[in-house]
Amino acid sequence: MGERGIGLVYGGGGIGMMGAVADGCLEAKGAVTGVITRQLVDRELAHPKVRDMRVVETMHERKTLMVSLAAGFVALPGGYGTFDELFECVCWAQLGLHSKPLGLLDTAGFYSGLIAFLRHAQREGFLRLPLERAVLCAATPEAMLDSLASRGLTRDSFGLPQ
């Protein structure tokens, strides 16, 4: 992302996969904005090198601020928190609360079961917003960034300096 001039808005942690993504963006001189709850800061989980760290009180405030700051979303392989954020973004898109692109980074087939389930739910008539319109799926970070670019997500969308 940093090499393409794309800024990162993320949950503000310094560990795990998202910490590694933030590290990569910072190393490439990319803009990184963290959004983290005070509880996680108090547990010393905030990324120590992220200068633009927004501290909020609740998880709901965190998600709301992240959605308002980001021009698009990518869910990396993750757990309950990732799934919560993913489905909230899809739901908000279905309700017309945003029209920002959303992607699933399906590294090593991590999301293949979920994608199959969502296609099943669509066939059964439970998804008003078709999966292909709701979520971009890609197997590599490069392919995901290319897919987002095809939906108009560019450096300019992030408001970064030229």
CATH number of 1-70: 3.40.50.450
Asked whether residue 161 carries a pLDDT value surpassing 80, the answer given is no
For residue 54, list its beta bridge partners. 35
57-115 pLDDT tens trace: 999 999 999 999 998 899 999 999 899 999 999 999 889 998 888 999 999 999 999 99
pLDDT at 20: 93
Asked whether residue 153 carries a pLDDT value surpassing 90, the answer given is no
Instruction: Report, at the CATH architecture level, how domain 72-152 is classified.
Output: 3-Layer(aba) Sandwich (3.40)
Average pLDDT over all residues of the chain: 90
Coil, strand or helix: which one is 42? Answer: helix
Length of the chain, in residues: 162
Average pLDDT of the segment spanning 123-152: 90
Q: Do the two domains 1-70 and 72-152 of this chain adopt the same fold?
A: yes
Nearest 10 degrees: CA dihedral of 61, 141, 121, 66?
Answer: 10
> What is the domain partition of the chain in residue ranges?
1-70, 72-152
